[in-house]
């Protein structure tokens, strides 16, 4: 029937293709497979990101609470006095004492604590009366280090107090 019709009429009845990129039935499973792979990659990336955020939160929690660096506490455990000189001048009475003290350095940290040469000052009624030099050392984690120091006390103008 179409053979008898003129060419112009045949062209009128042929419909033009709307989408020239029509998918073939074999391509559809490949596209679905690619989309599934992409979704799996995105899901895996989300899990990795959530794990990284969780680990960061745990590290921050430990760093701010458990692993906080605290300063060591210096305490005089015992003291003995050797030299005791008294000057009883009427204008300026004073005394000079040599003290040997056993000090304790308590380290409350979870790691070793190194400290440099330091000085301990002794006060009486807001007046400095003596000092002792602490040598540089290291104290172990959560322990107390004991050592002896020698210090001198010189107090002048005792009558004004």
Domain boundaries, the chain: 11-64, 73-160
Let me know: does 131 contact 121? Beta carbons within 8 Å: yes
What tokens appear for 91 in the block?
A: 């204008």
Which residues are registered as beta bridge partners of 115? Answer: 137
Cα–Cα dist 23/17, whole Å: 13
Instruction: State how far Cα 49 lies from the chain centre.
Output: 22
For residue 61, the model assigns a pLDDT of: 92
Residue 142 φ/ψ, nearest 5 degrees: 50, 45
pLDDT by 10s per residue, the chain, length 161:
555 655 555 555 555 556 666 555 666 777 888 899 999 999 999 999 999 999 999 999 988 887 788 888 888 899 998 888 888 777 777 888 899 999 999 999 888 888 899 888 888 888 888 888 888 999 898 999 999 998 888 877 655 54
- Listing DSSP states for 56-85 in one string gives HHHHHHHHHTTT---PPEEEEEEEEEEEEE
Q: 109: burial class by Cβ within 10 Å (0-12, 13-18, 19+)?
A: middle
For residue 68, the model assigns a pLDDT of: 81
CA distances from residue 122 to 56, 78, 109, 125, 129 in whole angstroms, order as listed = 45, 14, 26, 10, 6
For residue 55, the model assigns a pLDDT of: 98
């Amino acid at each position: 029937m179409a053979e008898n019709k003129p060419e112009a009429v045949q062209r009128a009845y042929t419909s033009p293709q709307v989408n020239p990129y029509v998918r073939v039935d074999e391509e559809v499973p490949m596209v679905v497979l690619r989309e599934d792979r992409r979704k799996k990659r995105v899901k895996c990336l989300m899990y990795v990101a959530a794990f990284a955020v969780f680990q960061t939160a745990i590290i921050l929690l430990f760093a701010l609470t458990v692993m906080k660096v605290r300063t060591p506490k210096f305490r005089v455990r015992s003291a003995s006095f050797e030299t005791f000189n008294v000057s009883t001048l009427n204008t300026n009475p004073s005394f000079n004492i040599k003290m040997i003290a056993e000090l304790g350095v308590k380290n409350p940290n979870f790691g070793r604590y190194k400290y440099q040469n330091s000085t301990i000052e002794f006060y009486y009624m807001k007046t400095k009366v003596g000092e002792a030099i602490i040598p540089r050392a290291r104290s172990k984690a959560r322990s107390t280090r004991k050592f002896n120091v020698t210090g001198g006390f010189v107090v002048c103008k005792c009558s004004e107090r």
